[in-house]
Amino acid sequence: MIWKKLSRNWLGLIGLAVIALNVLVALMAPFIATHDPLQIDVANQAAPPSAKFFFGADEYGRDIFSRVIYGTRISLFVSVLSVLFATTFGVVLGAAAGYYRGWAESIIMRCMDAIMSFPAILLAIGIMAVLGARLINVVIALGFVYVPRFARIVRGSVLSVKQKEFVEASLAMGNSDAAIIFRHILPNCVAPLIVQATANLAYAILAESSLSFLGLGAPPPAPSWGNILSDARNFMLDNMWMTIFPGLAITLAVLGFNLLGDALRDILDPRLN
Amino acid sequence: MADALNIEGLKTFFYTRQGAAKAVNGVSLRIRPGQILGVVGESGCGKSVTAFSILRLVPHPGRIVSGRILFQGRDLLELPSREMRRIRGDRISMIFQEPMISLNPAFTVGDQLIEALRLHRRISRAQARDRAVEMLRQVEIPAPEKRINDYPHHLSGGMRQRAMIAEALLLNPDLLLADEPTTALDVTIQAQVLDIMCRLARELGTAIMFITHNLGLVAESADRVAVMYAGKVVEEGGVADIFENARHPYTRGLLRSVPLPGRRTGQGRGQLYEMAGLVPSLFDLPPGCAFHPRCPRRGEVCLREEPPWRAIGPGHWTACWLEEADAAPGQS
């Protein structure tokens, strides 16, 4: 059903195509890249775009095209894993809060409020400062920051689904709480989750780039988009290709996820149908 | 013959900030195996809460305060929750009012029937599926082997309620709690669905507690009737006792409030009866007989003391001071 409607939503299809392209590039990076992304080439420092360096070279003579291609891997890795992290914890906490109510709900949701009261990027910076600049820590930091968004959505959906008589009916059938949450309630909450997850992938890409840019993401030689931009910002006025291409890569990936997210929201949100 | 269900002095209160709402305030009922007991009364008289109390699924902030619920010789209120879960859906099952939302929209009808079966019986999916198809056939769903793959939204209200009946009777329970099972259906479908439910129950020997506010349906299907008011049973008897020889003023009022085809409303003989007053607040029940503020024949004693539960004929009981010779209320 989602497929049918998505195939009629051309903006959504474009988003999907862009994401598919990103995934393909990430998977095939070694075959697409023309250079080793870490290879320093003193002779070609800050070389402008050419047949040899499609996107030019940076101040160490590293091929920006290859770095952007490999950067796709880092961005997708971080965004997908952090959203997965946030979804998992968000679903468990939100479902527990919405199903059991009472003090469990108060404690969980007040913690979520506390996390949400920080600007996301600021909190992520704080966590990175504590954990240290490693790629896996970026996943943890972003995942942690995004947990409340999922917990809130799941709690809301669980609250409304729980009201439905089929939940009462399945209790009357002799189901355990766990069976009811996982078999009967959560499957009816996936639609808003999918929408939130897709939109969040875009935020995560942006946040990962921001962290890298600030030197708190993947440690420097790694070709993450934020790192490329960070290295390039001192030369922006003279050698604009150094910033334009990684910037475009970020824009394109975020656009892809946003387009798909919007399309899915239109399709899955019953109020808009 | 042993009772299928024997409720004694059940009290279920809802504890809120305004105090305790006495939703069920001392209900005693018994149902024999294979018998259909109609439980009637206005909204909020405790019919549904009684059913939920039997399954021990009283919604928060409700709590069963006292009483005994004897089922097959065991007090359900004493059972550990694991045992209770085993009884739910297997020995006692329940049908709800709203067939539109009683089935999980995320799964096919078949999945839900199969799940219910496999929850209580160790059988293979294929066996469960066969049994589910057979059950759907018995509730007269056409082409059950196709329908079993349908999602709930593919089915009409009557079909869904039949599917619910199939699910409820799948494990051949000893007791079926039917909470307004036909209220949400078209009038033409109501009788049909009710027929199926009662026929199957009789074939399987399942006792039914049939909760409704529709007296007509009770007259047609039930063996016995219990009339509830403000958390209590005020009169209980065979269908004929209640419909032809009602003794409690509330039961009489209830019967006179039913519009009948051919009986015209408005001026004249057939004017529709309107019971005076409102259902009392469950937080603040009147002292004495809870019905006295609305009773056209109340006496002085009704304001002070609760009427005793007494037999007024074979299998016909009521709780009303009018039946007490020595304390007969005054003018009537």
pLDDT in the model for residue B36: 92
pLDDT above 90 as % of chain B: 30
- 3-class state of residue B39 by DSSP: strand
Provide mean pLDDT across the span B115-141.
90
The alpha carbon of residue A3 is apart from the nearest alpha carbon of chain B, in Å, by 17
| Nearest to B167, CA basis, from B154, B181, B185 | B181
- Name the least confident of A25-29, A136-140, A217-221, B89-93: A217-221
Domain boundary assignment for chain B: 5-91+174-327, 102-170
Task: Provide the residue type at B166 as one letter.
Answer: A
**What's the pTM?**
0.74
Q: Any chain A CB within 8 A of the CB of B68? A: no
Complete domains list, chain A, with CATH: 63-272 (1.10.3720.10)
pLDDT in the model for residue B269: 54
- Residue of A158, A161, A166 best to disrupt the B interface, most CBs of B under 10 A: A166
pLDDT in the model for residue B215: 87
* Nearest residue in A to B165, CA atom: A169
Cα–Cα distance, B104 to B151 (Å, whole number): 9
What does the angle CA B63 – CA B67 – CA B69 come to, to the nearest 5 degrees? 95
Provide mean pLDDT across the span A218-228.
82
| Nearest to A79, CA basis, from A192, A236, A179, A204 | A204
- Which phi and psi angles does B57 have, rounded to 5°? -125, 40
The alpha carbon of residue B163 is apart from the nearest alpha carbon of chain A, in Å, by 13
The alpha carbon of residue B103 is apart from the nearest alpha carbon of chain A, in Å, by 5
Q: What is the CATH number of domain B5-91+174-327?
A: 3.40.50.300
CB B193 within 8 A of CB B161: yes
Q: Any chain B CB within 8 A of the CB of A270? A: no
Tokens in use for B311?
Answer: 């037999």
Q: Any chain B CB within 8 A of the CB of A183? A: yes
- Residue of B101, B161, B211 best to disrupt the A interface, most CBs of A under 10 A: B101
pLDDT in the model for residue B330: 47
A31 band by pLDDT with thresholds 50, 70 and 90: confident
Q: Output the CA–CA distances (angstroms, integers) from residue B309 to B223, B235, B289, in the order listed.
A: 21, 9, 12
DSSP annotation of B45: S
- Residue of B15, B86, B102 best to disrupt the A interface, most CBs of A under 10 A: B102
pLDDT above 70 as % of chain B: 93
Mean pLDDT (chain B, rounded) = 86
More confident residue, A230 or B51: B51
pLDDT tens-digit profile of A172-195?
Answer: 888 888 888 888 888 888 888 888
Please, which residues have CB within 8 angstroms of residue B33's CB and are 6 or more apart in sequence?
A: B1, B2, B3, B4, B174, B205, B207
Those of residues 243-262 in B touching chain A at CB distance below 8 A are: none
For residue A175, which residues of chain B lie inside 8 Å, CB to CB?
Answer: 85, 89, 119
pLDDT tens-digit profile of B207-255?
Answer: 999 999 888 888 888 999 999 999 899 999 999 989 888 889 999 888 8
The alpha carbon of residue B317 is apart from the nearest alpha carbon of chain A, in Å, by 31
Q: Any chain A CB within 8 A of the CB of B221? A: no
- Which phi and psi angles does B35 have, rounded to 5°? -90, 150
Do A173 and B96 lie within an 8 Å CB cutoff? Answer: no
pLDDT in the model for residue A139: 92
DSSP annotation of B13: E
- Which phi and psi angles does A176 have, rounded to 5°? -85, 165
Mean pLDDT (chain A, rounded) = 85
pLDDT tens-digit profile of B265-311?
Answer: 554 455 677 787 788 888 888 888 888 888 888 888 888 888 988 88
